[in-house]
């Protein structure tokens, strides 16, 4: 086995999409979902998908073991200092999307979709349902923060469910048993119900575990409406948007805007189809849409 073939203990997912696949296992699409016939590939064999998912599950478990162990208050503060000052140069959003597309997933027998394909499928599903233009654009951009992987960040600091640090970890967080290895569980101040926060302080005052959500939110927040900012920042916060945990940290603004994260989530999870979108046809629409909200280049 060469070094290149050896599994990287810091990056147990052989394919970043295994995390997304596991989300669909945890939260299957309701049979009554109206978009099902339009956006689910009818040619896909359910059995193939299940076998593949079983193999992928072990790597997802290992991934969460690392994520839950290393996501501490201290880590989050350091990553925020490192990345949120946006010192990695200016790019147009298309340049950033094309850069993200160099992150190749090569082991998924289920689909051969690129990162841009997933983003376009999400955006197109939102557009097909007649949602506002800012939300279509949010669909296109929501995973752009995964460029963190291309900066050499480990998987556990880019993807995975996000959750507040600095207060008790909810048992509803996936694989919550792995938090026993997290050094913050030894700090009593961080392990009360409120931890370092106050009742109703608002999610904007909460340190979320570090990942692609917080990064894309910071890059784009000056240009998008608050609804979009909530979607970008919290789209992986499954403990809140699927399990309704951490309501005691919400303020009035969260109660008004957080429901948009719930509206968005099915488009992220269930718009995947093996039919790649036609980028050439769609490009003019998305060029217009991007220039409606963004300048030519923004800081990363």
The residues binding Fe ion (CB under 5 A) are 143, 268
Q: How far is the CB of 94 from Fe ion (least distance, A)?
A: 18
Q: How far is the CB of 211 from Fe ion (least distance, A)?
A: 8
Q: How far is the CB of 297 from Fe ion (least distance, A)?
A: 23
Cβ closer to Fe ion: 73 or 141? 141
Cβ closer to Fe ion: 190 or 300? 300
Cβ closer to Fe ion: 117 or 143? 143
Provide φ and ψ at 192, rounded to 5°: -85, 170
Residue 63: left (phi > 0), alpha (psi -120 to 50), or beta?
alpha
**Contact (CB, 8 A) for 29 and 117:** no
Burial class (CB in 10 A: 0-12, 13-18, 19+), 288: exposed
**Contact (CB, 8 A) for 273 and 76:** no
Half-sphere exposure of 6 toward its Cβ, with a 13 Å CA cutoff?
A: 6
Cβ closer to Fe ion: 169 or 267? 267
Q: How far is the CB of 142 from Fe ion (least distance, A)?
A: 6
Cβ closer to Fe ion: 18 or 190? 18
Q: How far is the CB of 139 from Fe ion (least distance, A)?
A: 9
Rg value, the chain, Cα: 19
């Amino acid at each position: 086995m060469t070094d290149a073939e050896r599994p990287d203990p810091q990056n147990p997912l052989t394919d970043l999409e295994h995390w997304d696949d596991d989300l669909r296992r945890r939260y299957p699409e309701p049979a009554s979902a109206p978009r099902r016939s339009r956006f689910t590939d009818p040619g896909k064999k359910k059995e193939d998908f299940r076998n593949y998912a079983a193999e992928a599950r072990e790597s997802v478990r290992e991934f969460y073991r690392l994520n839950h162990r290393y996501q501490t208050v201290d880590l989050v503060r350091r990553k925020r200092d490192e990345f949120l000052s946006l010192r990695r140069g200016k790019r147009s959003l298309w340049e950033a999307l094309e850069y993200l597309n160099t992150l190749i997933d090569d082991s998924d027998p289920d689909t051969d979709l690129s990162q841009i394909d997933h983003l376009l499928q999400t955006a197109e599903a939102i557009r097909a349902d007649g949602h506002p233009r800012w939300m279509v654009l949010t669909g296109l951009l929501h995973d752009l923060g995964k460029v963190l992987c291309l900066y050499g960040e480990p998987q556990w600091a880019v993807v995975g469910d996000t959750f507040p640090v600095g207060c008790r970890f909810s048992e509803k967080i996936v694989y919550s048993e792995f938090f026993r290895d997290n050094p913050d569980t030894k700090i009593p101040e961080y392990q009360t119900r409120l931890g370092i926060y106050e009742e109703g302080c608002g999610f904007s005052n909460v340190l979320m575990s570090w990942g692609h959500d917080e990064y894309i939110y910071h890059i784009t927040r000056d240009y998008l409406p608050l609804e979009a900012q909530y979607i970008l920042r919290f789209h992986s916060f499954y403990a809140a948007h699927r399990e309704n945990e951490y309501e005691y940290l919400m303020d009035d603004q969260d109660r008004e805007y957080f429901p948009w994260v719930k509206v968005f989530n099915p488009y992220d999870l269930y718009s995947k189809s093996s039919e790649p979108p036609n980028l050439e046809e769609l490009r003019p629409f998305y060029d217009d849409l991007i220039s409606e909200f963004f300048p030519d280049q923004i800081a990363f």
